[in-house]
Amino acid sequence: MEHAEILHRCFRCGYCKLPGSYQDLNCPSYLQYRFETYSPGGRMWLLRAWLDEEIPSSARLQEILFSCTACGNCVEHCVFPKFKADVLNAITAGRGELVNEGSVPRRVSDFFKAIHLYGNPYKLPEADRGAWAKGLGLEPYRGQEYLFFAGCAGSYDERGQKMARAVAGLLKDRGVSFGILGALERCDGNEVRAMGEAGLFEEIARQNIAQFLDAGVVKIITLSPHAYHAIRNYYPRFNGIFQVLHYSQALARMMSKGKDQGADTPLTVTFHDPCYLGRHNQDYLTPRMVLAALPGVELAEMDRARVDALCCGGGGGNFFTDLLGSGPDSSSRVRVREAAATGAQVLAVACPKCAKMLEDAVKAEALESALRVMDLAELVQARSV
């Protein structure tokens, strides 16, 4: 197994379970399950035990490995500089071993099957992929400056579609030259990769790269930080080198000429850093620049922000497999309670998965009257003239 050589080097000191402030548990699966086995160090030791045949492959081992949200908190806070970068890679590789062995939870195999058969995890027709853009008058991609990549959540998920429409609408209003692939777009593959199906990810990446290159794509704006991560950091391994922007970065460029004009009634906003923009790509500033450019908006940070942000629980495939489960200790519910405690009226997000996870959590916590989940583009639209 790749990275097997670091498994025994984990001391299980537990820094990986916490944010930098140590204030509370910051590993979503450990927060939810509380057994040591569900912590990053627990996974490292179990993987080693499994490879050494000290424990058998089991449904529980699968659940333990696949409930990791790949949020990167462990990588960020591990105190072992010589191998910390590969802690999450080792867990992903462990998932890969289970995939190769054919021992994965049913929900995970269903996810892979859906990608194989439908090209998306929603099991919806590929022909419907561009339906989110209906009525917006967006152009198909034919050599414009940017390709806007909506991704699976932006194409099929109701909350994601709303967000994709907000982003694309803004880009259009601000005169950005861009096109979409519509029904021709394919899954970016990030969750497939994070769930350890390296072969399928490579296939998806190569198909996308070929399509992008054929169409002459040079610059891409992604809706999802997950797609941003895959295209920016993994497609180059297959010679797919593109200039990739997350949509918040595109918005920041559009808004870089000072405060936006528009509504300036006071509005307190707290921002939830998406893991794949923040910890995985170290961009904490751009979304805050967007918020700072909005008239009347005051940013109230949560205690856990930037490198310490608590994941919404939707990463690593859990948005689709839900192996993390629900309940008051699910990270999405803990997160919205934390957001509400800031006194903010709006919980701003920059990822369709976060939007959905946190919106559901707001309902579960009965916080609808106090806290509204809005993505950055929706906020910009709402505050614009």
The one-letter code for the residue type at 84 is K
Do residues 35 and 43 make contact, with C-beta atoms less than 8 angstroms apart?
Answer: no
Least Å from the CB of residue 269 to another protein: 21
Token duo for residue 260: 């936006």
Token duo for residue 322: 């839900």
H or E stretch covering 222: strand 219-222
Least Å from the CB of residue 80 to another protein: 5
> Is residue 340 a contact residue for another protein (CB under 8 A)?
no
Q: Residue 254 to residues 163, 175, 384: CA-CA distances in angstroms?
A: 18, 9, 13
Per-residue interface string for the shown chain with another protein, residues 12-31, x marking contact by CB under 8 A? xxxx-xx--xxxx-------
Residues 49-78 that bind another protein (CB under 8 A): 49, 54-56, 58, 60-61, 64
Stretch that binds another protein, among 79-87, 218-226, 230-238, 254-262 (CB under 8 A): 79-87
The one-letter code for the residue type at 238 is F
> Is residue 101 a contact residue for another protein (CB under 8 A)?
no
Do residues 177 and 146 make contact, with C-beta atoms less than 8 angstroms apart?
Answer: yes
Stretch that binds another protein, among 48-56, 121-129, 173-181, 194-202 (CB under 8 A): 48-56
Least Å from the CB of residue 25 to another protein: 9
Stretch that binds another protein, among 5-13, 196-204, 243-251, 365-373 (CB under 8 A): 5-13
**Exactly one of 2, 101, 173, 303 binds another protein (CB under 8 A); which one?**
303
The smaller minimum CB distance to another protein, of residues 77 and 193, is found at 77
Stretch that binds another protein, among 10-18, 125-133, 147-155, 179-187 (CB under 8 A): 10-18
Residue of 279, 350, 287, 311 lying closest to 77 (CA atoms): 279
- Give 3-state DSSP helix, strand, coil % of the chain, rounded to 5: 50, 10, 40
DSSP 3-state assignment of 243? strand
Least Å from the CB of residue 7 to another protein: 8
How far from chain centre, in Å, is Cα 42?
A: 24
Do residues 171 and 148 make contact, with C-beta atoms less than 8 angstroms apart?
Answer: yes
DSSP 3-state assignment of 271? strand
> Is residue 301 a contact residue for another protein (CB under 8 A)?
no
List interacting residues with another protein (CB under 8 A): 8-15, 17-18, 21-24, 33-37, 42, 45-46, 49, 54-56, 58, 60-61, 64, 79-83, 303
